[in-house]
C-alpha cells in the first residue's frame, strides 16, 4: 500500500477509524470466521463525511476498496487480498428516527436487521424483512445485496422496503437520495442503481426504510404433504383462503427435514417423518379462525396428510427454528450452498435431475433441498464430505446449467460476488451484462469499489 496514501488517511480520519498491523488479528472476511482479513488496512469511518473522505483519497490513488458490512454473505463478496483496503461500516450504528405516523425508519448502514426489528416492534410496527442471519446482517448490506428472506411472498425483496438512500460514490461524492415518500415519481429512481449492486457502484451509508403496522396475530402450520402437485395446490389454496394474509410458504425436501429434527440437531419433528414434502405456512395479521378453517379444508381435500398448528409463540419459534437451522448442513464440512430461482412447476424435475447427476458422479453424496417455494427460490446444499478438492466446478455446472432452459436464476437472493460471476451468463443476456459494465464504468471509472465482483 502507498505510504503516502496511508499518511493522508491518518490525517483525514480519527485514530479509532484506522486498524492495521497486529490490531487486524481476529478480523475475518466471512461469517464462519474461517478466512482472516488479508488486507493490510481496515478503515472504520464513524460518519458519512469520514466515508466520503476515505473514498476520495482512495479514488485519487487508484486504491481498491473492499466494503464490509455484517459479513453474512455466501458468495465471497467480502474476500480481500494484501493489496486491498477494507472499508467497514460497523461504526455507523445509529437508528436515527422511527416515525410511527409516516411509518418509516431512518437508519445508518451498520444497524443490524434485528436491531431495527426490535426498535420497530417497540413502536407498534414491524420491518418485515426477515432472514436467519438477522442478528449480524446489516441493513446497508441487506440493501446492497437486495436481500430476500422468509417473507418475500407478501412483502417483496429489500428494494420494496427502501424509500431512500444516502450513498457515497467512488470519488467521495455524497448522493443524498433520502426520499421519505412512498409515492415519488420525480425523475429517475436513482436508489435502485445501488440496491443489489453489491457495493460495486457506491457505498450505502444511510437508509430510509418503510415500516408496517405490527400484525395482531401470527399463525403457523407445519404440514406433511403427499406430493409436489399437492404442494403447489396448497400454496394456491392458502393464498386464496387467507385473502392476502399469507406471509411465508417454506418447503423442505425430506432429507433436510430429517437433518434438522434428529440429534444432534435440537429441533424435534412437529409431524412424523416419511412424507415426500413438508411445508411451513405462515399468516400475519389474519383472524385465527380463518387460518384454522384454511388448514382444515387443506387436510379435508387431501392437500395435507398431517399437520401441526402452532398454539403458542414458543411453538411458532420452534417451527421457524427448524427452517433457520441451516448450520446442520455443515456437520461434514463447509457445504457448497446454492441459491437458485426457477418456475415452481419445474422444481421437482429440476431437483431430480440435479440429484441424479450428482449421484451418478458421487453415489454417496449428501444433498439437502429447502427454501422459499412461495417466491420460487430453492436452496440446494451439497456436503463436501467425500468429494475431491477439484469437484466444486463440476458440482456448479450440474446445479446451474439446467436453469438456463428454465429461465431460472443462479442467484435468487445471495448475490453474485466473486463466486458466481462466471455463471452470470445463465441468468442475464450479453446485452444486460454489457449495460452493467457501462454503469460500473460511469460510476466507478477507476474500478476501485469491490473490484471483480458481479461483472
**367 lies in which domain range?**
327-432
Q: Is the pLDDT of residue 26 over 90?
A: no
Q: Are residues 285 and 319 in the same domain?
A: yes
- Of 324, 348, 378, the position where a domain reaches its end is 324
Q: Is the pLDDT of residue 386 over 90?
A: no
In a domain, 421, yes or no: yes
pLDDT, position 31: 75
Cell representation of residue 247:
406471509
Q: How many domains does the chain have?
A: 4
In a domain, 103, yes or no: yes
pLDDT, position 389: 82
Whole-prediction pTM: 0.93
Q: Is the pLDDT of residue 32 over 80?
A: no
User: Domain holding 47: CATH number?
Assistant: 3.30.43.10
Q: Are residues 333 and 296 in the same domain?
A: no
Q: Are residues 121 and 201 in the same domain?
A: yes
pLDDT, position 107: 98
pLDDT, position 360: 96
pLDDT, position 270: 97
Q: Are residues 388 and 281 in the same domain?
A: no
Q: pLDDT band at residue 74, thresholds of 50, 70 and 90?
A: confident
- Of 272, 302, 324, the position where a domain reaches its end is 324
pLDDT, position 286: 78
Q: Average pLDDT for residues 77-98, to the nearest whole number? A: 96
Which pLDDT tens digit goes with each residue over 175-230? 999 999 999 999 999 999 999 999 999 999 999 999 999 999 999 999 999 999 99
Which pLDDT tens digit goes with each residue over 244-274? 899 999 999 999 999 999 999 999 999 999 9
Q: pLDDT band at residue 132, thresholds of 50, 70 and 90?
A: confident
Q: Average pLDDT for residues 282-301, to the nearest whole number? A: 93
In a domain, 439, yes or no: no
Do 209 and 161 touch, CB atoms closer than 8 A? yes
pLDDT, position 30: 79
pLDDT, position 194: 98
Q: Are residues 68 and 114 in the same domain?
A: no
Q: Are residues 198 and 118 in the same domain?
A: yes
Do 377 and 371 touch, CB atoms closer than 8 A? yes
Q: Is the pLDDT of residue 33 over 80?
A: no
pLDDT, position 8: 97
Q: To the nearest whole number, what is the mean pLDDT of the chain?
A: 95
pLDDT > 90: percent of the chain: 91
- Of 213, 238, 273, the position where a domain reaches its end is 213
Q: Is the pLDDT of residue 35 over 90?
A: no
In a domain, 247, yes or no: yes
Q: Are residues 317 and 331 in the same domain?
A: no
Q: Are residues 205 and 101 in the same domain?
A: yes
In a domain, 454, yes or no: no
In a domain, 447, yes or no: no
User: Domain holding 159: CATH number?
Assistant: 3.30.465.10
pLDDT, position 2: 82
In a domain, 169, yes or no: yes
Q: Are residues 357 and 404 in the same domain?
A: yes
Q: Average pLDDT for residues 91-104, to the nearest whole number? A: 98
Q: Are residues 174 and 279 in the same domain?
A: no
Which pLDDT tens digit goes with each residue over 337-362? 999 999 999 999 999 999 999 999 99
User: Domain holding 379: CATH number?
Assistant: 3.30.70.2740
In a domain, 384, yes or no: yes
Which pLDDT tens digit goes with each residue over 413-449? 999 999 999 999 999 999 999 999 999 999 999 999 9
Q: Are residues 258 and 351 in the same domain?
A: no
User: Domain holding 278: CATH number?
Assistant: 3.30.70.2190
Q: Are residues 202 and 158 in the same domain?
A: yes
pLDDT > 70: percent of the chain: 100
Amino acid at each position: 500500500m502507498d505510504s503516502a496514501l496511508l499518511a493522508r488517511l491518518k490525517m483525514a480520519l480519527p485514530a479509532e477509524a484506522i486498524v492495521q498491523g497486529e490490531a487486524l488479528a481476529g478480523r475475518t472476511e466471512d461469517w464462519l470466521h474461517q478466512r482472516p482479513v488479508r488486507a493490510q488496512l481496515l478503515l472504520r469511518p464513524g460518519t458519512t463525511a469520514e466515508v466520503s473522505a476515505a473514498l476520495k483519497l482512495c479514488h485519487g490513488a487508484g486504491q481498491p476498496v473492499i466494503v464490509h458490512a455484517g459479513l453474512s454473505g455466501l458468495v465471497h463478496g467480502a474476500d480481500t487480498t494484501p493489496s486491498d483496503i477494507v472499508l467497514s461500516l460497523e461504526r455507523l450504528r445509529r437508528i436515527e428516527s422511527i416515525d410511527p405516523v409516516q411509518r418509516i425508519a431512518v437508519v445508518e448502514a451498520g444497524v443490524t436487521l434485528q436491531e431495527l426489528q426490535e426498535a420497530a416492534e417497540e413502536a407498534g410496527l414491524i420491518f418485515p424483512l426477515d432472514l436467519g442471519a438477522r442478528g449480524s446482517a446489516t441493513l446497508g448490506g441487506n440493501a446492497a445485496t437486495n436481500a430476500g428472506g422468509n417473507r418475500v411472498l407478501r412483502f417483496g425483496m429489500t428494494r420494496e422496503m427502501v424509500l431512500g438512500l444516502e450513498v457515497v460514490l467512488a470519488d467521495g461524492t455524497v448522493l443524498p437520495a433520502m426520499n421519505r415518500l412512498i409515492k415519488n415519481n420525480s425523475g429517475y429512481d436513482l436508489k435502485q442503481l445501488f440496491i443489489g449492486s453489491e457495493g460495486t457502484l457506491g457505498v450505502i451509508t444511510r437508509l430510509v426504510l418503510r415500516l408496517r403496522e405490527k400484525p395482531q396475530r401470527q399463525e403457523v402450520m407445519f404440514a406433511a404433504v403427499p406430493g409436489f402437485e399437492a404442494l403447489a395446490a396448497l400454496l394456491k389454496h392458502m393464498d386464496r383462503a387467507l385473502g392476502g394474509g399469507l406471509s411465508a410458504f417454506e418447503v423442505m425436501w425430506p432429507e433436510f427435514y430429517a437433518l434438522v429434527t434428529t440429534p444432534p440437531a435440537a429441533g424435534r419433528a412437529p409431524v412424523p417423518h416419511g412424507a415426500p414434502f413438508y411445508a411451513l405456512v405462515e399468516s400475519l395479521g389474519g383472524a385465527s379462525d380463518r387460518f384454522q378453517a384454511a388448514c382444515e379444508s387443506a387436510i379435508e381435500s387431501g392437500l395435507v396428510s398431517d399437520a401441526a398448528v402452532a398454539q403458542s409463540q414458543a411453538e411458532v419459534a420452534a417451527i421457524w427454528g427448524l427452517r433457520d437451522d441451516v448450520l446442520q448442513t455443515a456437520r461434514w464440512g463447509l457445504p457448497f450452498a446454492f441459491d437458485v430461482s426457477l418456475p415452481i412447476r419445474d422444481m421437482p424435475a429440476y431437483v431430480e435431475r440435479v440429484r441424479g447427476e450428482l449421484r451418478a458422479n458421487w453415489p454417496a453424496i449428501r444433498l439437502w433441498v429447502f427454501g422459499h417455494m412461495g417466491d420460487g427460490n430453492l436452496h440446494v446444499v451439497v456436503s463436501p464430505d467425500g468429494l475431491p478438492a477439484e469437484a466444486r466446478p463440476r458440482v456448479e455446472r450440474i446445479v446451474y446449467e439446467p436453469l438456463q432452459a428454465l429461465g431460472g436464476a443462479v442467484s435468487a437472493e445471495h448475490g453474485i460476488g466473486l463466486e458466481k460471476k462466471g455463471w452470470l451468463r445463465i441468468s442475464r443476456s450479453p446485452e444486460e451484462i454489457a449495460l452493467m459494465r457501462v454503469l460500473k464504468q460511469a460510476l466507478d471509472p477507476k474500478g476501485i469499489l469491490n473490484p471483480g465482483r458481479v461483472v
